[in-house]
Amino acid sequence: MKWWYRVVRKRPVDASSLAFQRMRDDFEKRLEMWAGLPVQGPSRSEHVFVLVLPWLRSAVPFYSLEVALRLRQLGFKVTLVWDDINLFGNAPRTDCSQIEATLHRVSHTFELIRVRDFPKERWIPSADHDGIAESLLYENAIWLKRGECTVDEFQLAYPKARDNVVQHLARVSGILKEHTCDWMLIPGGIFAASSIWVAGTRDAGIEFTTFDSGLASTILCHRGVAAQKDDLPQSFQRTWNPSSPAVDFGIAFGKAELERRRLGSGRAFVFQISSPSEAGR
């Protein structure tokens, strides 16, 4: 057996790690493009925090940086908030080191808050944090384990998760009291630390927007979780006019879209696929 074959067998290639590395390489090519554009000072009064998080080896942290670059180009004052705290396996060190390397390339042009470096004596604990932590962990356990029946497995796998979340809530509360902004851009809103920043901004009275994205679409939600579309009922109530001729069109379009998703033929979203006979029931 050749020596290189033995090495490969002992150290199998991690496909997701290679894919993440390619995402980082692609984004750093984007940075070269941005470097060729003029950087102007803030021309708007709004100060925006953009949260950067490791996210299951996806492009989410690089997308956050891309949005930060665009917001700055539009004249906003932008501060990056880098949160690599590992609450329950959400921030693998290898992934964080790659994101750190990319952040290093842009940190000289942005103000950067490193969450890990915020001193413990300035954290702000609260009696409410225990209840918030229980709720956030329950939602994450269901999402990660794909069902309520395995929440206990999550708790056994991450016995320190509750304490980690309670401490992080206090840390985030301290940061948002000491560092102010007009609004904050947060990925997701439920997974891992994103849920803590949603809770923290709500408690601090800071406006926030969350985003959720895939290969074909991006969903935004102001003052709510993007995937839950908390802002849609309010928008619907403000615009609903039962006498409008657009109502029949909207209902027909919605039914057709629902059918496409049920049959698995939707371009951006697919529900649990059912057969045509089942879909007609």
More confident residue, 9 or 129: 129
Max mean pLDDT among 41-45, 53-57, 105-109 falls in 53-57
pLDDT at 260 exceeding the cut of 90? no
Check whether 66 has a pLDDT greater than 90.
Answer: yes
Q: How confident is the model at residue 12 (pLDDT cuts 50, 70, 90)?
A: low
DSSP structure string for 65-132 = HHHHHHHHHTT-EEEEEE----SSSSS-HHHHHHHHHHHHHHTTTSEEEEGGGS-GGG----TTHHHH
Over range 129-145, report the average pLDDT.
88
Mean pLDDT of the 255-266 span = 79
pLDDT at residue 187 greater than cutoff 90: yes
For residue 115, the one-letter residue type is V
Mean pLDDT value across residues 222-249: 75
Q: Residue 266 has what pLDDT?
A: 62
pLDDT tops 60 at residue 10? no
Q: Looking at 85-99, 136-150, 183-197, which range is the least confident one?
A: 136-150
Q: Is 20 helix (H, G, I), strand (E, B) or coil?
A: helix
Instruction: Calculate the dihedral angle through the C-alpha atoms of 269, 272, 276, 277, rounding to the nearest 10 degrees.
Output: -150
Model confidence at 2: pLDDT above 50: no
Q: Three-state DSSP class for 215?
A: coil
Token readout for 231 is 């802002």
- Exposed (0-12), middle (13-18) or buried (19+): which is 39, by Cβ within 10 Å? exposed
The reported pLDDT for the residue numbered 231 is 65
Residue 268, pLDDT score: 60
> For all residues of the chain together, what is the average pLDDT?
85
pLDDT of residue 224: 87
Find the mean pLDDT for residues 223-227: 82
Contact 65, 27 (CB under 8 A): yes
